[in-house]
Structure 1
Amino acid sequence: MFVIFGATGKVGQTTARTLRQAGLPVRAVVRDPAQAAGLKQLGCELIQADLLDSAAVATAIKGAYAVQMLCPMVPNHDPQATSTMRRMIATAATALAEHPPALVLGLSDYGAELDQGTGITLLFHELEQALKPVQSRLILLRSAEHLQNWSRMLPVALGTGVLPSLHSPVDRPFPTVSAHDVGLAAASLLQQDRSGHATRIISMEGPQRVSVQDVADTLADLLGKPVKPWAMPREEWAARLSGIGYSADNAQLLIDLYDTHNAGGIEAEAGSERLYGESPLRTVLAGLLAQASTPAR
């Protein structure tokens, strides 16, 4: 049994779908079964579990050969985001230690080797550290920033012709990757039969690095109208994040991350294995625009 936590997310859905297409049994762990109809149609076993519920997590991983674990995210408005995510990580790690599967794949992040100054990526570091003592083969799949994150800014770009970003400067390329490609890579890694308990650390990014300027230019070409990139002034970050619903704690996690990112401190760890996705920027942005223009049902 392959157990996928966060199975309704962009990475988790792709992993689950790919494993099912290979004829493998998949248990999809979700918070809200109502959002998992597609997974059920694929033949996934659905189980509802909150990562704060140790008994539910233990039930979810019962009988698993492999478990794909994510760093749990909480709603932007959570006033205690850091402590909530740390409790979720501890709950998941304890359950895995008590019921270790043959293989654990942890979905992690570029910069997760760093133990300070990385904001929300520090939670990925803590997830990795919590998983390492588990008596399972461990794969840490660290991905660059997901291109799908630009969907949050599409309404602004469409409405104003301006693409805001915390990245600065806007013409500096940085590593990105499609979440779909990460899900495909995870499904492939979960099916690889390797012996031993050595931890594999794999850094994954897309076929080429992109800048905010590249994103804006590609959007402009797809839309047939100008789109201008705009690096939001550092002194305005906290107020702007608060204005769109971020709690002070969650906003600070992002601020710390982008301070380190803009200083060049977020990179693939030297010596890690490397994987490269195939989805180009234009293909991903075209898909996001298609989704944005599709009426909700």
Structure 2
Amino acid sequence: MYVIWGAAGTVGLATAKALRHASLPVRAVVRNAAQGDALAKLGCEVVVADLHDALALARTLDGAQAVQALVPLPRGEARPADTMRATIDGIARVLAAHRDVPVVALSDYGAELSENTGITTLFHAFEAALREVSSQLTLLRSAEHLHNWQRVLPVALASGVLPSFHDPVDKSFPAIAAADVGVVSARLLREGGALRGTRLVSVEGPARVSASDVARAIEKASGRAVKARALPRDQWEATLAQGGLSPQHARLVIDLFDVHNAGRIDVETPASERAFGTTTLEQAMAAMLGSNRAS
């Protein structure tokens, strides 16, 4: 049985689909029953359990061949870093009692850096905690997810300007369609039982992109003229606050983009194996626009 914690997310659902396509048994763990409908249709065993409920989470590992673990970024919380640290501690305690269950942990590019990287600092803590408790650990570090741009699609389509924290807008950076992360994770889950120790895999899309590339892809998919524009650094905090982020959440984002723009977020070489998704930027943007129209 392959166990997916946080199976209702984009990556979790893609992992489940890939495993079920191979006719493999999947236990999909979600926060509430309504999230399990699509997973049940795939033939998954759906289990409701909160990542902060150690007893419930431990029960999901009964008979597990491998587990996909993640630390979601809380939305709408005043102190998201504290919540993420509590989640990390709880997951580590559960996995400490199941040391021989192979783990694929979803992490981020830059997680080898120990401080001053905003959100990514928390993935450094996640990796460190799991290294202590798992005897069969795969760290799957992902490049920036392309679907993060979906939040500003309405602005780009309405104004013709794509606001970007990436500065300069023509600088290329690693990115990937979130669903491709799930496909790679499914493969690593199937391989997990053959390893001992820790394996590090970095995954990104078939080509690196820039904010200007994203704007051109939106323009191509929508037929509307769109240009990328870097947001001035002194406007970041106010912009994030307008988007509903707490000051502490905004600080996590700002610190991350500061190191991104300094060129410090990339593949850890030579330590990491490399994997690549297949979804192009143009395909990802076209899908997002279709989703926006449908909603």
- Structure 2-normalised TM-score? 0.97
Residues 133-142 or 208-217, more deviating:
133-142
Decide whether aligned partners of structure 1 residues 196 and 184 sit closer, same or farther in structure 2, where only a CA change above 3 A counts: closer
**Offset of 1:234 from its aligned partner?**
0.6
- Superposition deviation, residue 102 in structure 1: 2.9
| 2-structure distance, mates of 1:153, 1:186 | 28
Q: Is residue 51 of structure 1 aligned with residue 56 of structure 2? A: no
Instruction: Kindly indicate whether the alpha-carbon contact (under 8 Å) linking 2:102 and 2:192 is maintained by their aligned counterparts in 1.
Output: no
Cross-structure match for 1:177: 176
DSSP-derived class of the 1:99 partner? coil
Contact 2:137 2:192 (C-alpha < 8 Å) held by counterparts: no
Residue 43 of structure 1 deviates from its aligned partner by: 1.4
* Partner SS, residue 107 of structure 2: strand
| 2:286 paired residue number | 286
| 1:133 and 2:137 aligned | no
2: CA distance between counterparts of 1:28 and 1:100? 20
2:253 is matched with which residue?
Answer: 254
Question: In the TM superposition, what are the counterparts of 1:1-297 in structure 2 within 5 Å?
Answer: 1-75=1-75, 77-192=76-191, 195-271=194-270, 272-295=272-295
Say whether the 8 Å CA contact 2:174–2:205 is kept in structure 1: yes
Could you tell me how far apart the structure 1 residues matched to 2:39 and 2:266 are? 34
Aligned-pair CA distance for 1:243: 1.1
Deviation at 1:160, TM superposition (A): 1.1
Letter in 1 for 2:14: T
Query: What's the CA shift for 1:135?
Result: 3.5
Q: CA RMSD in A?
A: 1.2
Distance across 1 between alignment mates of 2:158 and 2:35: 29
Classify the secondary structure of the residue corresponding to 1:158.
helix
Tell me how far apart the structure 1 counterparts of residues 249 and 221 of structure 2 sit (CA, whole Å). Answer: 33
1: distance between equivalents of 2:155 and 2:174? 23
Paired amino acid for 2:220 = D
* Residue identity opposite 2:124 in structure 1: H
Q: CA deviation at 1:217?
A: 1.2
SS in 2 for 1:168: coil
Read off the aligned partner of 1:143 and give its amino acid letter. Answer: S
The alpha carbon displacement at 1:63 in A equals 2.3
Q: CA deviation at 1:100?
A: 2.8
In structure 1, list runs of 5 or more residues that go unmatched.
Answer: none
Alignment gaps of 5+ in structure 2 = none
Aligned AA (1:30): V
Q: Is the 8 A contact 1:144 1:204 kept in 2?
A: yes
Confirm or deny: 8 A CA contact 1:65 1:101 kept in the other structure.
Answer: no
Q: TM-score, normalised by structure 1?
A: 0.96
Sort the Cα spacing of 1:24 and 1:101 in 2 relative to 1 into closer, same or farther, 3 A: farther
SS at match of 1:202: strand
Cα offset, 1:87, TM superposition: 0.3
My pick for the range that moved more, 192-201 or 228-237, is 192-201
Q: Identity of paired residues, percent?
A: 50
How far apart, in 1, do the equivalents of 2:231 and 2:151 lie?
15
> What is the number of residues matched between the two proteins?
294
Could you say what secondary structure the match of 1:210 adopts? coil
1:196 Cα shift? 4.1
How big is each residue's C-alpha offset from its partner over 1:233-255, in whole Å with a ceiling of 9 and x where there is no partner? 11111111111100111110000
Q: Secondary structure at the match of 2:132?
A: coil
Distance 1:136 1:67 in 2: 13
Quote the offset at 1:80 in angstroms: 1.3
Q: Is the 8 A contact 1:93 1:130 kept in 2?
A: yes
